[in-house]
Structure 1
Amino acid sequence: MADVLTLVEARLRTGLGEPDARAAVTFLGTDRFEVLRFTDGDVVRYATLGMSAQPMTDPTAALADPVEGPRAELVLSVRGGLADTDKVLRPLAVLAASPQVEGLVVAPGASLDVGEPLWPGAPFTSVLVAEPGGLVEDLDLDDPMDPVRFLPLLPMTPNEAAWKRVHGAEALRERWLNSGTDLRDPLRKSVSLD
């Protein structure tokens, strides 16, 4: 499956440029996960590499299919220089490992929570998984493998995450849009949820 990751890294480089840093994390009983950092002006993007090596499997399935099933990597974009966002590397690797560790299928509209601030002083402990196809195009793999999707992550405050559980992902995205929320601001406050 190393070939898949080679193709994924090439697609990330095509979409985001050359990474200026990378870190690797290995969790007991899982594969190695890397997080690559890309800087584009004042925006810093962090992308996982390793989550797509294996397809995600429905936790109710009797057997995990080693070939077929959804594949994804995660991409987080923030404004650089406002907070110590490089500390997000481990939380991102934890999220990337969640399909292997917890049997999750990560898809648009899902909430992922790390249970602690994403970086020191961050008002966010969770993220909303957004629709792919913006920054990095899906990567088609040979049949019968599913394409690799590059899923943007939108940081959520605990209040936003609770509101999203009640009203849904689309309602939260509309609230952000109507309020002109800068989702890349690493220090932003919660959107008004009244």
Structure 2
Amino acid sequence: MNDVLTLVDARLRWAFGEPDARASVTFLGTERIEVLRFVDAEARTVRYATLGMSAAPMTDPAQALADPERGPRAELLLTVRAGLADTDKVLRPLAVLAASPQVEGVVVAPGASLDTGEPLWPGAPFTSVLVAEPGGLVEDLPLDPPREPVRFLPLLPMTPAEAAWKRVHGAEALRERWLRHETDLRDPLRNAVPLGD
């Protein structure tokens, strides 16, 4: 584990306690991505956090040469209500999303949509996620300059209808609609928010 990932691992454990499970996935031509699971029995939630995405900075594919030090770094967080669905099957889709900067050369940032092309877990009504603003669950992890801090980006599952609506109206409009309808974004079985009113 490189020095950045050691610090990220420590930050996650400081924020959530010890993980009760961790799994690793390696894709051809990429570094290993781990997914850690943290159970909060009091809040009846399960949190999944990636570990490995921040090992290298994300690079805009339009850049001719990737800078090994400069560029945004991030890890992904997903929180769902425990015991309502087989959400542990989200480990591989989460690892796929975390590997996308290495595989596809994308820069993952708040407001972006990430699509897995399949349900996030068996029976899930979601195949994509909205990347939310960092800082609420885990504070940014500063690194020595010139390296940028590691940001911990929450993921909000979207139904296909919500993802299509977001493409037309934007991330902020979808967040406002969720808020207006008091949508429980941690419910792994929720229906799409009403989109026609």
Task: Please state which band the TM-score falls in when normalised by the shorter chain.
Answer: over 0.9
Is the CA contact 1:37–1:45 (under 8 Å) kept in the aligned structure 2? yes
Instruction: Give 1:113's aligned residue.
Output: 115
Offset from partner CA, 1:131-181 (integer Å, 9 cap, x none): 000010000000000000000000000000000000000000000000000
Amino acid at match of 1:2: N
2:131 to 129, 133, 146: 129
Q: Does 2:195 match 1:193?
A: yes
Q: Does 2:99 match 1:97?
A: yes
Does the residue aligned with 2:163 lie in a helix, a strand or coil? helix
Q: Does 2:180 match 1:174?
A: no
Does the residue aligned with 2:28 lie in a helix, a strand or coil? coil
Is the CA contact 1:16–1:135 (under 8 Å) kept in the aligned structure 2? no
Offset from partner CA, 1:62-107 (integer Å, 9 cap, x none): 0111000000000000001000000000000000000000000000
Structure 1 ranges of 4+ moved more than 3 A = none
Is the CA contact 1:109–1:169 (under 8 Å) kept in the aligned structure 2? yes
TM-score normalised by the chain length of structure 1:
0.99
Unaligned runs of 5+ in 2: none
Instruction: Give 2:164's aligned residue.
Output: 162
For residues 75 and 132 of structure 1, the distance between their equivalents in structure 2, rounded to whole angstroms, comes to: 10
Aligned residue pairs total 194
Amino acid at match of 1:3: D
Instruction: Give 1:18's aligned residue.
Output: 18
Is the CA contact 1:25–1:33 (under 8 Å) kept in the aligned structure 2? yes
For residues 102 and 108 of structure 1, the distance between their equivalents in structure 2, rounded to whole angstroms, comes to: 18
1:54 to 38, 53, 56: 56
Q: 1:112, CA displacement in angstroms? A: 0.0
Is the CA contact 1:128–1:156 (under 8 Å) kept in the aligned structure 2? yes
For residues 137 and 12 of structure 1, the distance between their equivalents in structure 2, rounded to whole angstroms, comes to: 10
Unaligned runs of 5+ in 1: none
Amino acid at match of 1:29: G
Amino acid at match of 1:30: T
Q: 1:186, CA displacement in angstroms? A: 0.2
Q: Does 2:150 match 1:148?
A: yes
Is the CA contact 1:112–1:129 (under 8 Å) kept in the aligned structure 2? yes
For residues 67 and 87 of structure 2, the distance between their equivalents in structure 1, rounded to whole angstroms, comes to: 35
Instruction: Give 2:29's aligned residue.
Output: 29
Amino acid at match of 1:175: R
Amino acid at match of 1:15: A
